[in-house]
Structure 1
Amino acid sequence: MLVLEGVSRRFGDKSAVSDVDLRIEPGSFVGVVGPSGAGKSTLLRMINRLVEPTAGNIRFEDRDTTRLSGSALRDWRAQCAMIFQQFNLVSRLDVLTNVIAGRLNHMPLWRSLTKSFTDAERTMALRALHRLGIAEVALKRADALSGGQQQRVAIARALMQEPRIILADEPIASLDPHNAKVVMDALRDINRRDGILVMCNLHTLDTARTYCDRIIGMANGRVVFDGAPAEFVGGVIEQIYGADGARIDERMTSTSLGVGGAGQPAPMPA
Structure 2
Amino acid sequence: MLELTNVTRRFGANTAVDAVTVSIPQGQMVGVIGRSGAGKSTLLRMINRLIDPSDGSISFGDKQVSAIKGRELRDWQRDCAMIFQQFNLVPRLDVLTNVLLGRLNHRNTILNLLNIFSAEERAQALMALERLGIEQTALQRAGTLSGGQQQRVAIARALMQSPKVILADEPIASLDPLNAKIVMDSLKDINERDGITVVTNLHTLDTARTYCERVIGMFHGKVVFDGPASDLTSDAVKMIYGSTAENEISEAITSTSIKESSETEKAPAMSLASAEIASPA
TM range (shorter): over 0.9
Quote the Cα distance in structure 2 between the aligned partners of 1:258 and 1:145.
23
Question: For residue 266 of structure 1, what is the aligned residue in structure 2?
Answer: none
Structure 1 unaligned residues grouped into runs of 5+: 261-270
Normalised to the residue count of structure 2, the TM-score between the two structures is 0.89
Normalised to the residue count of structure 1, the TM-score between the two structures is 0.93
Query: How much has 1:247 moved relative to structure 2?
Result: 5.5
- Count of residue pairs brought into register by the alignment: 259
Quote the Cα distance in structure 1 between the aligned partners of 2:35 and 2:246.
13
1:32-58 deviation per Cα after TM superposition (whole angstroms, max 9, x unaligned)? 000000000000000000010000010
RMSD: 1.4
Question: For residue 148 of structure 1, what is the aligned residue in structure 2?
Answer: 148
**Percentage of pairs with the same residue:** 59
Given that residues 34 and 40 in structure 1 are in contact (C-alpha distance below 8 angstroms), is that contact kept between their aligned partners in structure 2? Answer: yes
Instruction: Spell out structure 1 runs of 4+ moving beyond 4 A.
Output: 245-249
Say yes or no: does 1:176 pair with 2:176. Answer: yes
Quote the Cα distance in structure 2 between the aligned partners of 1:250 and 1:46.
33
1:22-75 deviation per Cα after TM superposition (whole angstroms, max 9, x unaligned)? 011111000000000000000000000001000001010111111111111000
The secondary structure found in structure 2 opposite 1:117 is coil
Question: For residue 7 of structure 1, what is the aligned residue in structure 2?
Answer: 7
Question: For residue 126 of structure 1, what is the aligned residue in structure 2?
Answer: 126
Equivalent position amino acid for 1:188 in 2: K
Bigger CA drift: 137-146 or 112-121?
Answer: 112-121
Query: How much has 1:255 moved relative to structure 2?
Result: 3.9
Given that residues 219 and 242 in structure 2 are in contact (C-alpha distance below 8 angstroms), is that contact kept between their aligned partners in structure 1? Answer: no
Note the 1:66-215 alignment, pairs <5 A. Answer: 66-215=66-215
Quote the Cα distance in structure 1 between the aligned partners of 2:207 and 2:255.
6
Quote the Cα distance in structure 2 between the aligned partners of 1:110 and 1:91.
24
Query: How much has 1:246 moved relative to structure 2?
Result: 9.5
Question: For residue 256 of structure 2, what is the aligned residue in structure 1?
Answer: 257
Query: How much has 1:259 moved relative to structure 2?
Result: 6.2
Equivalent position amino acid for 2:98 in 1: N
Given that residues 237 and 245 in structure 1 are in contact (C-alpha distance below 8 angstroms), is that contact kept between their aligned partners in structure 2? Answer: no
Question: For residue 219 of structure 1, what is the aligned residue in structure 2?
Answer: 219
